[in-house]
Structure 1
Amino acid sequence: MEDKLRYPIGKFTAPQVYTTDYLSERIQEIAEFPALLKKEVAQLNDEQLDTPYREGGWSIRQVVHHCADSHTNCFIRIKWALTEDNPTIKFYYEDRWGGMDDNVKMPIEPTLALLEGLHFRLAYLLNSLSDSDLEKSFIHPEHNASFQIKEIIGTYAWHGLHHLAHITELKKRKGW
């Protein structure tokens, strides 16, 4: 049960081949994420927003802010990969960021607006990339591995839907 609460849509599975259709579908999911998230959280009150999606997990409020933190880092990492030769990106402690005052207490409306603009830019950029751009990469120091932009597209499409499912599943369990 814990694994289902933690990974309601399962863990990310990379495709064997990154086809044009696969990438287009994932970019569309990235583009649509802010509207889907807003729809799920817009009517929640502060008590609901401050409810963790699982025991020991983040509150819905923290999940919303975490998506902005994570996806902002994603956008910057892709820009680095496009403008530098396989750069080593900066690792960040998402758990520490998630516990900061802005993530714990701040209203979600500014973050929803940020995500809307960020995802518009991210999808616009991703849709403009050439095949050679999709092969560009960065080094993630936490994993000591190189990741290509085409791999990141799938990962972040999954990431948004993963956290969206945390919220929708909690709402179902609570009858909200």
Structure 2
Amino acid sequence: MNSPMNDSQNLKYPIGDFTYGQSFSAGETEQHIKAINQMPFKLTELVGKWGDDRLDTPYRPEGWTIRQLVHHIADSHINAYVRTKLALTETNPTITPYEEGEWAKLPDSTLDIAPSLVILRNLHHRWVTVLESLTDTDLNRTYFHPGSQRTFGLREVIAMYAWHGEHHYQHAYRLAERNGWLEKNV
């Protein structure tokens, strides 16, 4: 039987936390790029027709609503795309962190999710076009994150954002599963 702490952790990290500092093979990176490519379509299929009642439901106690979650994914992946391009065009640039919790409180987080779903579809098309063209040398390029005081290589960044997309997709999917929304996904 799960303890309340385990339940809370499972709601917060439905696929587990991302493990930093790993190495990734060419095949794993290829799979991560495919996951990044498919994420906007999976997310749109799941939540694209949900009404306000579902979109304004938090995925866990004290968590974001699904609406905020969708807008957060767009915000996060816009930053990831820009950081990828910076790493490819500068030598270990220092990126700018952002306060995702504060961004989720801004007025655009209350909008309909359609603009963010469109952003994700188009952004991921551009991002994956760049990612699929990377050579081994390119994949070794890095950026420095001053918030975590770490240098990130692009292989790890690609893995992290494949994880990030699935992590948040599972927040919405498991909420739908718990509430019986999967059978009647309208």
TM over 0.5: yes
Q: Deviations over 1:82-133 (max 9, x none)?
A: 1111010001000000111111x10111110110000111111001011111
**Aligned-pair CA distance for 1:174:** 1.0
Q: Distance in 1 between matches of 2:177 and 2:66?
A: 14
Counterpart residue number, 2:132: 127
Counterpart residue number, 2:107: 101
* Corresponding letter in the other structure for 1:37: L
Q: Distance in 2 between matches of 1:147 and 1:15?
A: 9
Q: Distance in 2 between matches of 1:92 and 1:2?
A: 25
SS at match of 1:116: helix
Aligned residues: 175
Q: Deviations over 1:122-169 (max 9, x none)?
A: 111001011111011000011111001111000000000000000000
SS at match of 2:24: coil
1:89 matched to 2:84: no
Structure 2 unmatched runs, 5+: 1-6, 182-186
Structure 2 counterpart of 1:166, from 158, 167, 171 = 171
Q: Pairwise mapping of residues 13-24 of structure 1 onto structure 2 (< 5 A)?
A: 13=19, 16-24=22-30
Structure 1 counterpart of 2:48, from 35, 39, 42 = 42
**Aligned-pair CA distance for 1:15:** 7.8
Q: Distance in 1 between matches of 2:76 and 2:133?
A: 22
Runs of 4+ in 1 over 4 A off after TM superposition: none
* Corresponding letter in the other structure for 2:130: L
SS at match of 1:90: coil
My pick for the range that moved more, 14-23 or 92-101, is 14-23
TM-score where L is the length of structure 2: 0.92
Structure 2 counterpart of 1:118, from 120, 123, 135 = 123
Q: Distance in 1 between matches of 2:20 and 2:26?
A: 14
Counterpart residue number, 2:184: none
